[in-house]
A and B are shown apart, each in its own frame.
Chain A
Amino acid sequence: MMDDIKLIEVKEEIFSDNKQLADGLRQRLARNKTYLLNVMASPGAGKTSLILRTIDLLKDDFSIGVIEADIDSMVDSKKVATHGVKAVQIRTGGFCHLDAAMVTKGLDAMDLGGLDLIIIENVGNLVCPAEFDTGAVKNTMILSVPEGDDKPLKYPLMFTVSQALIVNKVDYLKTEDFDMEALKNRALGLNPGLDIFEVSCKTGQGIDKWVDWLRKEVKAFVT
């Protein structure tokens, strides 16, 4: 005889475990007065370059650490360490994003004690990292000019989960067919609260405005 099929209400978020872990991490970092920033972008958009520029302008104000995610190399953490800050490399071993559990491992590998700001360099990818809460206070995404102004149409989620959008490689604007106004309208259409910064990590143009934003954020958090 066939058993009766019964319907069981589950009513749970698929990511409830990660969300809980991320919320716990946020509380732990808030108690420690450490600001966690999650930086996301596609490969080659300039995540490491932006982080290095940011460190150089902020290292006199704050004690900074960096968590580097990479599928299988140590290249980025070595670069970051030469700029005089603590860097931890997480090899994600094929994983396309960082989640709260991986960030926790990274934090456990550094001495949190005196750190005011920890920057996460997420895996280069505009899709998956958008879905996973890392425990960060704010999400920043970078879009570089050569990638094109149509990216909000293709990766809307990434633009909706970020609080700051950094448009990097503006030194390419002369040669690229990139419509900055169209990009801004598209991005703000998805996320009206988004703060947008136009920068060039190569020339340094516009970096100060982004760093001012971050400095205010971190100061308000740690004091």
Chain B
Amino acid sequence: MHELPVTESILNVVLKHARANGVKKVVAIHLEIGELSDLENEWIQRYFDYLSKNTLAEGAKLKIKRTPVVMECRSCETRFKVNIKDMFEIKCPKCGSSDCTMVSGKEYYIKSMEAV
């Protein structure tokens, strides 16, 4: 629902790095976005295509890697992946405790970009 401001932020960061590195054109952008985010890949790309017109990043492909939700058990420190549909009944697979904290799954990260 809020792909537009997210895409604007991505573009701003990318253009900053493009200028700093003196590139001619950005070809691809590698993103890591947590599974908990409701962003739609297709819409981010569409907004990006629109916003990036006449910039160094025009036509760049967004390559989005979804990072899984990983929890850590507070009692035995075991880390385990959680299917987003099972998030309401989280139990540590080792000791069975449900007192767990989230260590990843909410990322909004620009990892790298490919440019010429």
Assess the B108–A13 pair: CB atoms within 8 A. yes
Q: How far is the CA of A4 from the CA of B115 in the complex (A)?
A: 8
Asked whether any CB of chain B lies closer than 8 Å to the CB of A186, the reply is: yes
Chain A positions 1-33 with a Cβ under 8 Å from a chain B Cβ: 2-18
Assess the B109–A5 pair: CB atoms within 8 A. no
- Contact bitstring A111-152, B, C-beta under 8 A = 1, else 0: 000000000000001011001100000000000000000001
Asked whether any CB of chain A lies closer than 8 Å to the CB of B51, the reply is: no
Assess the B13–A16 pair: CB atoms within 8 A. yes
Residue of B87, B89, B90, B114 near A5 (CB, 8 A) is B114
- Identify the stretch in A52-60, A79-87, A153-161 within 8 Å (CB) of chain B at 4 or more residues: A153-161
Asked whether any CB of chain B lies closer than 8 Å to the CB of A185, the reply is: yes
| Residues on the B chain within 8 Å of A9, using CB | 111-112
Given contacts A95-B5, A125-B1, A157-B38, contact A5 B116 (CB under 8 A): yes
Q: How far is the CA of A35 from the CA of B6 in the complex (A)?
A: 27
| Residues on the A chain within 8 Å of B41, using CB | none
Q: How far is the CA of A2 from the CA of B114 in the complex (A)?
A: 14
Assess the A192–B110 pair: CB atoms within 8 A. no
Q: How far is the CA of A190 from the CA of B105 in the complex (A)?
A: 12
Query: How many whole Å from A165's CB to the nearest CB in chain B?
Result: 14
Assess the A153–B108 pair: CB atoms within 8 A. no
Total A-B residue pairs with C-beta atoms closer than 8 Å? 110
| Residues on the B chain within 8 Å of A185, using CB | 88-89
Assess the B2–A14 pair: CB atoms within 8 A. no
Q: How large is the interface on B (under 10, 10 to 19, 20 to 34, 35 or more residues)?
A: 35 or more
Asked whether any CB of chain B lies closer than 8 Å to the CB of A211, the reply is: no
Q: How far is the CA of A185 from the CA of B87 in the complex (A)?
A: 11
Chain B positions 1-43 with a Cβ under 8 Å from a chain A Cβ: 1-2, 5-6, 9-10, 12-14, 17-18, 21, 23-24, 27, 29, 31, 36-38
Asked whether any CB of chain B lies closer than 8 Å to the CB of A47, the reply is: no
| Residues on the A chain within 8 Å of B102, using CB | 160
Asked whether any CB of chain B lies closer than 8 Å to the CB of A51, the reply is: no
22 A-B pairs within 8 Å (CB atoms) are namely: A6-B116, A7-B113, A8-B18, A8-B112, A10-B110, A10-B111, A11-B109, A12-B13, A14-B6, A14-B10, A14-B108, A18-B9, A96-B1, A97-B2, A153-B87, A156-B87, A160-B36, A186-B88, A189-B88, A190-B87, A190-B88, A192-B74
Return the 9 tightest CB-CB contacts between A and B, nearest first: A3-B116, A128-B2, A186-B88, A14-B108, A10-B110, A157-B36, A14-B9, A5-B114, A12-B13
Residue ranges of B at the interface with A (Cβ–Cβ < 8 Å): 1-2, 5-6, 9-10, 12-14, 17-18, 21, 23-24, 27, 29, 31, 36-38, 74, 84-85, 87-90, 98-102, 106, 108-116
